[in-house]
A and B are shown apart, each in its own frame.
Chain A
């Protein structure tokens, strides 16, 4: 029974998450949202940036952990820091741009100036602080961070397990995902940003939802050549969704594209023939050309990392909760550092085709998600079903639970982790 009016939040949330369904109030209740900001976003590893976005000394990106603004930056010695974006004097943000390169963060209010390692370096008219303020105690507050394969995660939770252990079974898939530099280190090529009027968990679910693809994205599939359209017709094939633990899951849609360094002798797909010709013209040998061409379209899987980042076929998808019924999404394009221009340009054009607020795919996703949010207001009671494929689960080679590619195995994995963290 759902405890709609229960004052104990943990008991109430526990009553709203079954193994096969979750209550619709999880999308629309502002009190639950506030609880999520604390228990999920302030108590997890949250992805904040990719190392290539702050490649040079002095470069930074601003990010949000839940509602808290942070700066991700690289100091003059090349060390990465994640800092609270808040002056230690009277509390203004010290940095408002999304990204850039600086020598210091200077608060615009009274001019306190911080190094890229967070240390308070100078402040105007220090004599009035004589013997009452020691600069070494008033640096920007540093937040614990760890990285894996260039992905930077930060956490406010002091005793949070190591990132390595948190990612666990997902690491193998991150390693596979990073092969799409085509032999070059992966770098980001830019971010598309948009918001939709719906709860963040609707996006979280969608990254592990293959069932919607032929319905919502019919107009995208129609825009593909026949050969590529066949590749995207994957619901009846050998794909699967695997629960990787800790709320993470992988959805393999195109098994042939799991390992981009395998099967390099396969014929070059029609749509990449011009790229292959261009790369060959530039003097790359046959193996280099094949490696780049095979990586150009991205991997055949979506890796959903709980709670805010996905390695989604050929790009990073980040979500940020804005309010109970508004979510910001970033679609971050990736390519190879030092890869031929023709390769990175191909990656950019493919990304623009489907992704972003004007892509051939995203606007239709956005429409479906906003309808879920509006529908969640219908009736006093109601459930979101996530039971698809439950009767046909099987063990994966790695010993995890797995189901069909269009099963809701990944959603169940995420909601069980969500429940575990929300009811403590």
Chain B
């Protein structure tokens, strides 16, 4: 790593972090996943593409720390019928690109697809992901994760997990 420039080093670090995040969701390590977040972090699945003001818009999900915790409790409770049917999910990431980096913030985006087996039919959800990551005492924390599903502005199916 010594002869790599800072951007290359960050890309290695960020790629490992994003892969780990996706892996935790696929393997349902939800408690560990919650620890990846900054206290002020927002997880947003918008309906419209290319917007910024998600707070004043209707989204599919707009989770602050409290809502993230509740969503995880719901998935872990065993009382959500839909969550039981989504036993296996597979997330793939690629095309990871750092857009800009300052002392403590890294903005990154990547291509993403989630596959699930829904009653014998494999469904897939392609999306562009945008992350705002914060350097915090030598580790990375998620300050913002925005999931722009390819078809979020038309009809979706019901979704029983996090992207």
Contact = CB atoms under 8 A, between A and B. Distances in A.
Contacts, number: 96
A131 interface: no
DSSP class of A's interface residues: helix, strand, loop or mixed? helix
Contact of A222 (B55, B77, B119): B77
B80 A219 contact: yes
B88 interface: no
A10 interface: no
B158 A196 contact: yes
Contacts of A368: 81
Contact of B58 (A219, A328, A333, A366): A333
Contacts of A86: none
B59 interface: yes
Given A192-B47, A219-B74, A223-B70, A367 B55 contact: no
Contacts of B153: 98
B71 interface: yes
B154 to A, nearest CB: 7
Interface residues of B, number: 31
Interface residues of A, number: 38
Nearest to A370: B119
Interface string B72-114: 0110010111110100000000000000000000000000000
Nearest to A330: B155
A192 B77 contact: no
Nearest to B54: A348
Contact of A190 (B58, B74, B154): B58
Interface stretch (B11-19, B30-38, B60-68, B128-136): B60-68
B79 A358 contact: no
A357 interface: yes
Interface in A356-398: 356-358, 360, 362-368, 370, 374
Contacts of A345: 55-56
A363 B58 contact: no
B79 A352 contact: no
Interface in A324-373: 328, 333, 341, 344-345, 348-349, 351-353, 356-358, 360, 362-368, 370
Interface of A: 98, 189-196, 216, 218-220, 222-223, 328, 333, 341, 344-345, 348-349, 351-353, 356-358, 360, 362-368, 370, 374
Interface of B: 45, 47, 55-62, 67, 70-71, 73-74, 77, 79-83, 85, 119, 153-160
8 contacts: A191-B58, A193-B154, A222-B79, A328-B155, A352-B62, A357-B159, A362-B158, A366-B158
